[in-house]
Amino acid sequence: MDVDKKWVEKGFIDEPAAEGTDLAAEIRRMCKEKNAVILAHYYTTGDIQAVADFIGDSLALARKAADTDADIIVMCGVHFMAETCKLLSPDKTVISPDLNAGCSLADSCRAEDLRKYREEHPDYKVVSYVNTTAAVKALTDIVVTSGNAKKIVDSFPKDEKLIFGPDYNLGSYINSVTGRDMLLWNGGCHVHERFSAPDIVRLKKEHPGAEVLVHPECKGPIVALADVVGSTAVLLKHAVESGTKEFIVATEAGILYEMTRKCPEKTFIPVPPEVSEGGAGCSCNECDYMKMNTLSKIYNALKYGWPTVEVAEDIAREAVKPIERMLELS
Ligand code: 13P
Ligand code: SF4
C-alpha cells in the first residue's frame, strides 16, 4: 500500500475521521474484519485501555504477542514493545499507531556503546531490561522485565559476572534483593526519575493508613519508602488483593485507570513528581511517549494498515534469542 509522504514524515496518520464517527466502535469493527488484536500497556490513556483486547505489563504483552492467532497486532505502548511483538511474531503485521512513541530509557543505551562495553568486559554476560532497542537485545544474553528480573538474575550461578542495563535504578534494586554486584549501566527513565521522596513522606503523613506502591525504575530513596516494589502488573495485583483501602502510587499515572476500574471502592493517590517546570500537580508523572497513542491514530492505523514496525533480519535473528530465553524462564 502506498503511504502518503506527509504521514511517513510525521510517523503517524492524522487524517480526521468523518464527522460523527464513533472511533471506538469503528476500531472494534475493523479489528474483527481484519483479524487484528489490540494490545495496550497500562500507561496508555483510559480510552485506549477500554478499546483494547488485552492490557498488561511488558512481560504479559510479550507473552500475548508470542501467542496470538491474529494476523495484525496493534501495539499501543512504545516502540520497543512493538519491536518485541515483531521479533516474537515475525510473520504478523505489527502496527505502532505513532512511530514517534519512543522510550527515554531505551534511548539511554546505544548498541554501539554496549558493544564496546561488552568488548571491555569479555567474561561478563549481559542482562538487558526489555526497555531496549532490538539492536541492543541482539547484543544481550538474556532479557528481563521488572516482573521477572529477580527470578532471572537468580537463575545465574552466584559467581557469574553480569552486566545489567540500561536502567540503573532497577539494576541497583535487583542487586539489593539478590545480593549480587552486577555492573550497572547508567541509564534511566525520565518519568520515574522525577518522583521525589519528600512528596511521598508528605503523602504518607496525610494518609497514614495508605500503602506505598513503587515501580523499581524509581530512585533508591523512593524504593526505600515502598511497601511493595514491582512491575505495573505486580502493583495492580497487590492493590486488588490487599485489605488496605488507600494506596500512594509512584509510577506512571496511567496505571490508575485499571487500578480504579478493578477496585472502585479503593482510593489511589498518584505521587506528583518533583516540583519542576510544570510545578506541583503538573502531568509530569505521565509518559509523553505512551500518551502519543490516541484513538484517532489507532483508527487510521487499522484503516490504512500503517505505521508498521519492521526489524532488520540480521538484528532480528539475534535479538529474538534473549527474549525467548526470558520467556522460557519466566
Ligand atoms: P512494566 O514492565 O512494569 O509494565 O514497565 C514498563 C515500563 O516501561 C515502565 O516504565
Ligand atoms: Fe520508557 Fe519511562 Fe515511558 Fe516506561 S515510562 S515507556 S521507561 S519513558
Beta-sheet pairing, 36-41 with 54-56: parallel
Within 8 A by CB and 6+ apart from 17, the residues are: 23, 26, 296, 299, 300
Distance 236 CA to ligand 1 centre (A): 12
User: Whose CA is closest to atom 5 on ligand 2?
Assistant: 287
- DSSP type of residue 273: B
Q: Do 232 and 220 share a structural domain?
A: yes
Which ligand neighbours the alpha carbon of 103 most closely? 2
Residue to mutate, 96, 104, 252, 284, ligand 2, most ligand atoms under 8 Å from C-beta: 104
Q: Do 204 and 175 share a structural domain?
A: no
In the block, residue with C-alpha cell 535473528: 317
Residues paired with 275 in a beta bridge: none
* Binding-site residues, ligand 2, Cβ < 6 A: 78, 103-105, 131, 189-191, 217, 252, 287, 289-290
Q: Do 54 and 73 share a structural domain?
A: yes
Among 44, 48, 80, 35, which residue's Cα sits nearest to residue 62? 80
Among 151, 137, 149, which residue's Cα sits nearest to residue 173? 149
Burial class from Cβ neighbours inside 10 Å (0-12, 13-18, 19+) for residue 277 reads exposed
Q: Do 222 and 183 share a structural domain?
A: no
Report which ligand 1 atom has the smallest distance to the Cα of 103. 8
Residue to mutate, 61, 148, 167, 232, ligand 1, most ligand atoms under 8 Å from C-beta: 232
Burial class from Cβ neighbours inside 10 Å (0-12, 13-18, 19+) for residue 109 reads buried
Residues paired with 95 in a beta bridge: 74, 308
What is the Cα–Cα distance from 304 to 271, expressed in whole angstroms? 39
Distance 188 CA to ligand 2 centre (A): 9
Residue to mutate, 83, 100, 108, 131, ligand 2, most ligand atoms under 8 Å from C-beta: 131
What is the Cα–Cα distance from 46 to 239, expressed in whole angstroms? 18
Residue 91: which CATH number?
Answer: 3.40.50.10800
Q: Is residue 22 included in any domain, yes or no?
A: yes
Distance 131 CA to ligand 1 centre (A): 8
Alpha carbon 207 to its chain's center: 29
**pLDDT per residue of the chain (330 residues) written in tens, 0 to 9:** 678 999 999 999 999 999 999 999 999 999 999 999 999 999 999 999 999 999 999 989 999 999 999 999 999 999 999 999 999 999 999 999 999 999 999 999 999 999 999 999 999 999 999 999 999 999 999 999 999 999 999 999 999 999 999 999 999 999 999 999 999 999 999 999 999 999 999 999 999 999 999 999 999 999 999 999 999 999 999 999 999 999 999 999 999 999 999 999 999 999 986 654 444 445 679 999 999 999 999 999 999 999 999 999 999 999 999 999 999 998
Q: Which three cell numbers stand for residue 106?
A: 531505551
Show the domain range for 93. 5-101+290-312
Q: Is residue 37 included in any domain, yes or no?
A: yes
Contact 304, 78 (CB under 8 A): no
DSSP string for residues in 176-227: HHHT---EE--B--TTGGGB-HHHHHHHHHH-TTPEEEE-TTS-HHHHTT-S
Distance 158 CA to ligand 2 centre (A): 30
Q: Do 177 and 125 share a structural domain?
A: yes
Q: Do 302 and 250 share a structural domain?
A: no
What is the Cα–Cα distance from 320 to 134, expressed in whole angstroms? 8
Distance 58 CA to ligand 1 centre (A): 6
Distance 288 CA to ligand 2 centre (A): 9
pTM: 0.95
Report the domain count for the chain.
3
What is the Cα–Cα distance from 273 to 296, expressed in whole angstroms? 29
Q: Is residue 241 included in any domain, yes or no?
A: yes
Q: Is residue 80 included in any domain, yes or no?
A: yes
**R_g (Cα) of the chain, nearest Å:** 20
Q: Do 84 and 9 share a structural domain?
A: yes
Q: Do 117 and 91 share a structural domain?
A: no
Distance 290 CA to ligand 2 centre (A): 8
Q: Is residue 282 included in any domain, yes or no?
A: no
